[in-house]
């Protein structure tokens, strides 16, 4: 979902879509209709069973001629028929009707055994004086007409088809043929210097997102000064993927890259590629890249790339969505096709990188992923400052307070708040926008958002802080738990909060390490129980992980005292049989329960010991929303153990990998 207040996004699309609406050329429609009618008319006229004609057997035809009824005889060798026009005075004898019903020149038609026989017969009748006219033959121009009329519909279909294809294929040529003939053109919105929707967005307009900005900064450098990199033999990246929830400024960031580098910017949504016509998506991709190459260096931005980039179905038998897949294939081909240093860089946005096709993420395509997350407290303050710029605000307005009042809001939501506040103030006829207006706007937007995104109450925020602080406290105070990097209570994806750890680089894991980690994972629930007095749904993910881990340790790794050194791992996924007895199953269940209960008690005990520290940590989290290892160290003191990874990395461990340890907020359907 895109934000509502991104004005340039709502701007009219350029070139082919803007301006006067192209007319459908009706002449063609008329021609087609006329031809079809004509065809039907001619076909019908041949039938030979009208009121003024009659099909008869050959013998009857002979009788009529012998009785002297024939006025004129016309044979057609190709059709093998003969027509006998009846003398006016005998019309009633043949048709049993008057001239007014049959018309002036009625005829009877018969099939002839052969042309020679007919010739013979007519000549004999002429000699007998029964027939005074001539036998004439109708020649083959009739046949030609017949062939023509038979082929005509086909010709029309081919003509129309070629016509449409011309419109689809290259988008060139007939642009006045209406929208359906333009389906193959890319619908990209182009922002460039001097174009009417030029809006210079720079990094100044993107608040927060420091790490994302830093990463795209490099792309700006590439675009500005490609030689610097290519001279050293470096390859300019082709694409980067911006991953994050809607409204966090992915489009904005891409625009800012274009603005900073001062290059044209093509923007298109993934869903724009997909149309009900087969082949259109691929054609649009081709068109987009063709346009982009003309404007190089430039940036292509594809929003919601998951609309085309979703993983292709592995099973060809399942059918799958061929149109989407061929669009995706075309995209991949185009990305491989253009030279590395052609100066076209593709940025794509999605909020779900995990469902994308692996081929898209391969080297040389979108091999960089830039995370754009919901803003934390300080970032929200910065976003407010950006969007308060054009607003006449009350001088006593406390931006800090606004940021505090809007946990879980995205950049787009905040932009919305500012706009809404200005509207509310205007409605009340005020000279400037004050605190009450902002708070009213927040309320209104929270009301609207409640179902869509996670907006927390103070109470919830405290619970989440206690929960996350529980994880942090325990992992800090257990020797083998993963070292902590950062804890947040900013909602992210489906998680309400998260703690990031630096996983150890290790090939094997000992039982102690696993138990310590299990204890830390249970620390969230334990803290809730101890300090809020009730437990919440927020720990579901934790519990799921712990249960799986315990089951794995006992059934697969032989790590329990009562089932030592046994692995019941079943490699055959189609076998539904358990490789152990009912009694063992019960034993496994008991052991899993016991192991988890032990670790839970351990977590509770440790939390009680470190109660002050834990509560201080939770306070800090409520206040700042994000805390780092330093803050935790400040509270608990330095960890007496250094992990191997930390040793390897030296003093300042880089958060290269992050592991989420999160509290799922939603009850996933119990399937």
> Is the Cβ of residue 110 or residue 206 nearer to ligand ADP in the bound state?
206
Report how many residues bind ligand ADP under the rule CB under 6 A.
Answer: 21
Q: Please, what is the minimum distance in Å from the beta carbon of residue 622 to ligand ADP?
A: 23
- Report the C-alpha gap between 209 and 375 in whole angstroms: 7
Query: Strands 70-76, 81-86: parallel, antiparallel or unpaired by DSSP?
Result: antiparallel
Q: Which stretch binds Zn ion (CB under 5 A): 25-33, 38-46, 353-361, 538-546?
A: 538-546
Selected range binding Zn ion among 63-71, 111-119, 540-548, 579-587, rule: CB under 5 A = 540-548
> How buried is residue 562: exposed, middle or buried, by Cβ count under 10 Å (0-12/13-18/19+)?
exposed
- C-beta of residue 288 within 8 angstroms of C-beta of residue 268: yes
Task: Please choose, out of 245-253, 277-285, 514-522, 626-634, the segment that lies near ligand ADP by the rule CB under 6 A.
Answer: 245-253
User: Does 275 engage in binding with ligand ADP (CB under 6 A)?
Assistant: no
Nearer to ligand ADP, 250 or 454 (CB): 250
We find the least distance from the C-beta atom of residue 557 to ligand ADP, in angstroms, to be: 43
- Whether the CB-CB separation of 399 and 384 falls below 8 Å is answered with yes
Report residue 329 as tokens: 């294939």
**Closest by CA position to 617, among listed 478, 464, 496, 492:** 464
Would you say 190 and 266 are in contact if contact means Cβ atoms under 8 Å apart? Answer: yes
Site for ligand ADP, residues 343 to 362, rule: CB under 6 A: 349
Binding mask 492-531 for Zn ion (x = CB under 5 A): --------------------------------x-------
Is residue 663 a contact residue for Zn ion (CB under 5 A)?
yes
412 binds ligand ADP per the rule CB under 6 A: yes
Number of residues in contact with Zn ion under rule CB under 5 A: 3
The Cα–Cα gap between 105 and 468 comes to 102
Least distance in angstroms from the C-beta of 596 to ligand ADP: 39
Return the sign of the alpha-carbon dihedral for residues 588, 589, 594, 600: positive
- If contact means CB under 5 to 8 A according to the sort of partner, which of ligand ADP, Zn ion, none does residue 542 touch? Zn ion
Does position 250 interact with ligand ADP (CB under 6 A)? The reply is yes
One of 109, 186, 248, 475 touching ligand ADP (CB under 6 A):
248
Contact set for Zn ion, span 7-26 (CB under 5 A): none
Q: CB under 6 A: which stretch of 221-229, 308-316, 408-416, 658-666 binds ligand ADP?
A: 408-416
3-state helix, strand, coil in the chain (%, to 5): 50, 10, 35
- Active-site hit among 215, 325, 468, 517: 468
**Residue (220 or 554) nearer to ligand ADP, CB:** 220
Ordered DSSP codes for 375-406: P-HHHHHHHHHHHHTTS-B-TT--HHHHHHT-
- How is the beta sheet containing 81-86 ordered, strand by strand? 53-55, 107-111, 81-86, 70-76, 135-138
Distances (CA, A) of 655 to 368, 378, 483, 507, 624: 16, 20, 11, 19, 20
542 binds Zn ion per the rule CB under 5 A:
yes
Q: Is 460 a catalytic residue?
A: no
Nearer to Zn ion, 374 or 663 (CB): 663
- Positions 179 through 218 that interact with ligand ADP (CB under 6 A): 206-209
Q: Provide the angle, in degrees to the nearest 10, between the axes of the packed helices 250-261 and 210-224.
A: 30
DSSP 162-217: HHHHHHHHHS-S-TTS-GGGGTTS---EEE-TTSTT-----GGGS-S-HHHHHHHH
By a kind-dependent CB cut-off of 5 to 8 A, residue 186 interacts, out of ligand ADP, Zn ion, none, with none
381 binds, among Zn ion, ligand ADP, none (CB under 5 to 8 A by kind): none
Length of the chain: 671
Give the nearer residue to ligand ADP in terms of CB position, either 250 or 365: 250
Residue 335: how many CB atoms within 10 A of its CB? 21
**Closest separation between CB of residue 455 and Zn ion, Å?**
20
Q: Binding partner of residue 270 among Zn ion, ligand ADP, none, CB under 5 to 8 Å per kind?
A: none
The listed partner (Zn ion, ligand ADP, none) that binds 248, CB under 5 to 8 Å by sort, is ligand ADP
Q: 268, 187 in Cβ contact below 8 A?
A: yes
Stretch that binds Zn ion, among 107-115, 501-509, 537-545, 588-596 (CB under 5 A): 537-545
The dihedral sign for the CA sequence 465, 466, 470, 471: negative
Angle of CA points 319, 322, 328, to nearest 5°: 135
Active site residues: 468
Residues that bind Zn ion (CB under 5 A): 524, 542, 663
Residues that bind ligand ADP (CB under 6 A): 2-3, 5-6, 206-209, 246-252, 349, 383, 386, 411-412, 415
């Amino acid at each position: 979902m895109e934000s509502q207040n991104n004005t340039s996004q709502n701007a009219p699309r350029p070139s082919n879509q803007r301006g006067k609406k192209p007319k459908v050329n009706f002449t063609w429609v008329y021609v087609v209709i006329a031809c079809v009618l004509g065809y039907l008319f001619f076909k019908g006229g041949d039938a030979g069973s009208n009121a003024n004609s009659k099909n008869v057997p050959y013998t009857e035809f002979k009788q009529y001629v012998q009785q002297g009824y024939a006025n004129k005889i016309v044979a057609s060798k190709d059709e093998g028929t003969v027509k006998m026009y009846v003398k006016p005075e005998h019309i009633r004898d043949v048709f049993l009707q008057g001239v007014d019903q049959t018309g002036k020149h009625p005829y009877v038609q018969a099939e002839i055994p052969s042309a020679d026989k007919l010739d013979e017969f007519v000549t004999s009748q002429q000699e007998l004086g029964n027939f005074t006219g001539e036998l004439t033959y109708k020649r083959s121009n009739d046949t030609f007409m017949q062939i023509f009329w038979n082929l005509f519909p086909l010709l029309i279909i081919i003509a129309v088809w070629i016509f449409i294809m011309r419109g689809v294929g290259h988008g060139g040529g007939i642009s006045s043929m209406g929208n359906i003939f333009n389906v193959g053109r890319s619908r990209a919105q182009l922002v460039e210097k001097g174009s009417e929707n030029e809006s210079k967005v720079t990094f100044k307009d993107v608040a927060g997102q420091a790490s994302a900005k830093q990463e795209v900064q490099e792309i700006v450098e590439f675009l500005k000064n490609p030689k610097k990199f290519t001279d050293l033999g470096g390859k300019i990246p082709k694409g980067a993927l911006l991953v994050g929830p809607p409204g966090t400024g992915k489009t904005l960031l891409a625009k800012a890259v274009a603005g900073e580098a001062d290059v044209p910017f093509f923007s298109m949504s993934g869903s724009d590629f997909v149309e009900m016509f087969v082949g259109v998506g691929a054609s649009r991709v081709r068109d987009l890249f063709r346009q982009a190459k003309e404007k190089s260096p430039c940036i292509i931005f594809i929003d919601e790339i998951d609309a085309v980039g979703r993983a292709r179905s592995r099973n060809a038998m399942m059918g799958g969505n061929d149109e989407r897949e061929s669009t995706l294939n075309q995209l991949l081909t185009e990305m491989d096709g253009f030279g590395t240093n052609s100066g076209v860089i593709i940025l794509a946005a999605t909020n779900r990188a995990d469902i994308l096709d692996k081929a898209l993420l391969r080297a040389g395509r979108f091999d960089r992923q830039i995370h754009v997350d919901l803003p934390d407290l300080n970032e929200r303050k910065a976003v407010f400052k950006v969007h308060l710029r054009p607003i006449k605000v009350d001088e006593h307005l406390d931006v800090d307070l606004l940021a505090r009042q809007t946990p879980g809001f995205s950049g787009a939501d905040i932009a919305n708040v500012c706009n809404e506040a200005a509207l509310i103030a205007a409605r009340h006829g005020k000279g400037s926008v004050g605190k009450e207006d902002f708070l009213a706007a927040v309320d209104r937007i929270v009301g609207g958002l409640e179902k869509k995104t996670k907006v927390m109450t103070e109470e919830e925020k405290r619970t989440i802080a206690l929960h996350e602080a529980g994880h942090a406290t325990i992992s800090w105070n257990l020797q083998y738990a993963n070292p902590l990097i950062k804890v947040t209570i900013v909602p992210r994806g489906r998680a309400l909060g998260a703690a990031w750890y630096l996983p150890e680089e290790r090939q094997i894991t000992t039982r102690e390490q696993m138990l310590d980690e299990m204890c830390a994972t249970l620390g969230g629930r334990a803290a809730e129980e101890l300090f809020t007095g009730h437990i919440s749904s927020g720990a579901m993910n934790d519990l799921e992980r712990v249960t799986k881990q315990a089951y794995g340790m006992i059934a697969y790794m032989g790590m329990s005292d009562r089932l030592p050194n046994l692995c019941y791992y079943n490699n055959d996924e189609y076998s539904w049989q358990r490789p152990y007895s009912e009694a063992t199953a019960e034993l496994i269940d008991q052991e899993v329960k016991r192991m988890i209960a032990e670790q839970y008690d351990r977590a509770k005990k440790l939390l009680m010991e470190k109660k002050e520290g834990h509560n201080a940590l939770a306070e800090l989290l409520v206040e700042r929303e994000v805390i780092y290892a330093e803050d935790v160290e400040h509270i608990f003191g330095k960890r007496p153990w250094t992990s191997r990874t930390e040793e390897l990395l030296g003093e300042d461990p880089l958060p290269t990998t992050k592991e989420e340890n999160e509290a799922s907020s939603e009850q996933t359907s119990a399937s």
